[in-house]
Structure 1
């Protein structure tokens, strides 16, 4: 067979020489096309263009800003016109942007997080954009927790329960759930999930939610549930704190802290403190005693623990074989979101923040006791918005 030139071979095969020639593109053009194709794949997957808004995943928001930039730049519209089978580039023409900054993900992420904020995502400049996108998902600005006094006793209780064996630590992974009232260890710090917003679907179709997370160093952050999960997965020392075990509360085997018979009591304060007076029907103290309730509260008017005022007993529950520490720990965990944040001064003028007082209706406390007795209290917590117990066991 005679040697044929490339053109002659193409002719023999019936291939259009113009089509066969590959068009070369500059690195910048390839970057623009690649960025546009990512947006197209998003649209194919979710059936809509990416949208702005804090409720949306940071990747979707980045795509939305990028698409705006592409629409604004005439050069990009010309380059991408033949590829735009979804009609994404249709939009009002704006003043052209600096071509150098056109598709820079550094700038897009800075625009999302606030370029003027020195503690925001702009600190990640000069990192490769892919890594920066992933980091942006997981970075949430930490702030001082203004009401940390409300959470400090919970951290102290959790640490005490770890030391006593009431709680244990487990590697994060086997159980990746995240719910209000959960404790984790992340980056060497104790982490408490105080609130969980409404669930929504992330761009990848997985459920997500915004969390209020409190850290043991007195800071807090508003981050996504899946971001917290990712951080715990990446941290080799990341741990979940198990919930206090309700099982041994009513046992025939006695431990040192057990009492043969006892009483859970619920008190209502008769204090004339303005806040207490206004919410008297909701403010309750929950305690456990192995003796008589009357003896326990006899000196209430002179004890800061009882708000330096007389109290009335509004409910009591007789139990047998109680582990007092575990039982009190369970009440602390369940009603943590409603713990009373009130500071009074004792008879020596020293500020005191009494524990075990909660803004909870009496009927909810009654339900909690029933759940403790039947063992269905696991992973249940109190929802302030609905004034009810919520959780997997409900």
Structure 2
């Protein structure tokens, strides 16, 4: 059998072997293109070019500096022209300011030790020092000697989150950190208990020393910018908003919103000795979207109503209200006066009714008034003085 080479076989078929294509780009050009593709992806995800500014995500700031340098170099603009589908390489809009920090300072923000000759247009891989730094900051936490002072604050914040009086937002929308604010870092609630005098860091940025208390009973004495870096790096890092009555009422209806609602106040007709002795002070609060009368029609058969008939002593009409959120707030405010009573249901089983409180009717009037004006989240009932007090 005659041996025929591949080339001869292709020639018999009338086909010429295809020569391997040689790469027309240098390694430097490939790196520039890869770096520009990061910027393009940012543009497609956010609908705009990356922008400068201390309050923005550090990677957005890096892309903005990189884009400035690409715009400034003719060879880069020529190389990237076919990839620039969004006009990113055009001159920046009038009034747009550039990042004042140099490459080394910006890399330092990422926790990266810059090497000589670093060019952001050729950045390919950096050592993730930010992760190491975050771990070191956690390791520097020490037990908080006066944690009992702060413990009620954490309990109240958790209640506010449960009742939607507070919300959590991704850190970065507002990167400022102030005394008295709460964050979520590393799965713990962090409270900025104190902030020292403003100092100027070696890179020219302003900073301050913080005392941060964590919900696990530890604390740390770290710089404000260190806390910012840690919150940026933590995918679950969040800012906890201030209390607001906004989620209770609004102009736009939500899934759970009702066209109207009624806060009702009930008084029990039970002959239980503990109830009879304090009948004028024992009240049940609730919220309904229907008729109160229908709600209490079978009260004598329901342990929720102390297995006795009730009388309606007050009602308050409200509009565009989220019933579940409002009930959470009402019960949180009056929780110090919750009735501690156990009764037996129809089958002889012990039951501890909820939503009954030892509170005067005039205080309930004030609670509702503060619900309406949006200030209720800043108050709590004090049984010792029988009045609402500022938290």
Per the TM superposition, whether the score is higher than 0.5 is no
Q: TM-score, length-normalised on structure 1?
A: 0.44
